[in-house]
Amino acid sequence: MLRNVRIKTRIIAALAALSALLVMTGVIGLQGIAGTSERLRKVAERDIKHTGTVQAIRFRMEINRSQVLQALQHNPAMEWHKLHDHQLAVHQKTIADTSADIVRE
């Protein structure tokens, strides 16, 4: 059957078949990329939500650190304790409130 077909026709048929395979491979690859892109977008959106939470917690922890350092300045053995005209409880309350905020996050 193929003996009666000319070489030129065989080559054209082979190139057409290979071209069709190439197009099918490209379509499958593009579908895979689109699916991967969509999954990556969903993961990124989820991570952005968590990043905001982490930043809020980090900020509150920084407030607590600052309050601890300010509370240490109430030490009567240090000269600068006279500069604080409030009770140590002010810092303790701020730390407690901020820690409660962190737990709620």
pLDDT means per 10 residues, the chain with 105 residues, are: 81 96 96 93 88 92 94 84 83 93 84
Distance CA 45, CA 35 (A): 16
Q: What is the pTM of this model?
A: 0.56
pLDDT value of position 1 = 62
pLDDT value of position 79 = 82
Distance CA 18, CA 102 (A): 61
Q: How far is CA 34 from the centre of its chain?
A: 20
pLDDT value of position 72 = 87
